[in-house]
Amino acid sequence: MQFTKGQLQKHSSIPKFNFFWIAKVKVNTQAVLKRAQHVQGQKTPKKQWQAAWLLKAVTCIDLTTLAGDDTPSNIHRLCLKAIQPVRYDLLKKMDMHDKGITTAAVCVYPSRVADAIKLLNAANSSLPVASVATGFPTGQTPLETRLQEVHMAVADGATEIDIVINRMLVLTGQWEALYDEICQFRQACSDAHMKTILAIGELGTFTNVYKASMVAMMAGSDFIKTSTGKEVVNATYPVAIVMMRAIRNYFLCTGHKVGFKPAGGIRTAQESLVWLTLIKEELGNDWLCPHLFRLGASSLLADIERQIYHYVTGQYAAYHELPMP
């Protein structure tokens, strides 16, 4: 299940930096923590409803590999898994084999974009290739280098770019400079879908997370994303609530829907159900689709397929029965 270019929402004109939207913000930490605790304690769907939600989660995954030892061969295996994320016979038993279920995208380093494009073209697949860029994961390279990286990933065929923000600009309160930098990334992305990674584990406070979310959206991000997966703290529910409230407020102010991508440390099917519940409750059903919600994960799919196997067969799969990339 893929989205077309037409479904990707682009800001028709990038709104100007509006200091008023962030000037007096103060996040109520206790209220956020209480809400996060509540959502984790809620019951999640069971039986066939759980299986349906898990398939929905699969279609929202950016299947990721971001490792120093990535090679063309593991990128090829990743792409094949993204094209057929759940075993055909399991989908057939669920009568879902002809529904075009794929992950939302594959996500790789810029140097591996060409490998992914090559395999996907050979497999006649139009699955999007996302690439991290801008000095991922720290963003600590000169601006020119970061911009060049975006240009190169786009030139190699990435249609989605996951940029990282400059945390120094957040921690020193330089909001307008942060806006200017993200606007430059937006321009460099051209028609590519831009997901802005806040690296929430390094922003210090919930208030900074809210402000950075707002600035990233003002600068034309299609998605805001929690983390690189390389920080000590990655996707957490309290931070997600702060980011989702920023998305909601931005929508109320502008009428523009920005997507949300939690990433980093999401490994179990049960967690994916909590994420889907949270997005449904905080932002509504419109966000329950790959063009407004992604799960950035390298190993989540393995557990989801395992749970689907259990739902279909009543047994847990041995490792060799569900090969992973």
Question: Judged by CB, which is closer to ligand G3H: 23, or 232?
Answer: 232
Which of these segments, 22-30, 182-190, 204-212, 297-305, binds ligand G3H (CB under 6 A)?
297-305
Told to check if 110 binds ligand G3H by CB under 6 A, we report no
Site residues for ligand G3H, 169-208, by CB under 6 A, read: none
Report how far residue 254's alpha carbon sits from residue 263's, in angstroms, rounded to the nearest whole number.
26
Tell me whether residue 162 or residue 282 sits nearer to ligand G3H (CB atom): 162
Tell me the closest approach of the beta carbon of residue 159 to ligand G3H, in angstroms: 16
What does DSSP assign to residue 229? S
Please give the span between the terminal C-alpha atoms of the chain, in angstroms, as a whole number. 20
Told to judge if 5 belongs to the known catalytic residues of this protein, a careful annotator would answer no
* Residue 225 falls in the annotated catalytic set: yes
Q: Does 103 sit near ligand G3H (CB under 6 A)?
A: no
Kind and range of the H or E element at 162? strand 160-164
Piece of 142-150, 153-161, 282-290, 291-299 that binds ligand G3H (CB under 6 A): 291-299
Where in 216-235 is the site for ligand G3H (CB under 6 A)? 228-229
Q: Give every strand in the sheet of 223-225, ordered side by side.
A: 259-261, 223-225, 193-197, 160-164, 129-133, 105-108, 61-64, 295-297
* Axis crossing angle, helix 72-83 with helix 113-122, rounded to the nearest 10: 50
Of the candidate spans 38-46, 181-189, 216-224, 258-266, the one that interacts with ligand G3H by CB under 6 A turns out to be 258-266
Structure tokens at 148: 């060049």
Chain centroid to Cα 41, Å, comes to 24
Stretch that binds ligand G3H, among 49-57, 148-156, 259-267, 274-282 (CB under 6 A): 259-267
Residue type for 274, please?
A: V
**Do the beta carbons of residue 245 and residue 29 sit within 8 Å?**
no
CB-nearer residue toward ligand G3H: 61 or 94: 61
Q: CA 224, CA 210: separation in Å to the nearest integer?
A: 11
Nearer to ligand G3H, 35 or 291 (CB): 291
Residue in the shown chain whose Cβ atom is closest to ligand G3H: 229
For position 85 contacting ligand G3H by CB under 6 A, the verdict is no
CA distance 236 to 211: 17
Q: Which residues bind ligand G3H (CB under 6 A)?
A: 64, 66, 107, 228-229, 263-266, 296-299
Residue numbers annotated as active site = 225, 261
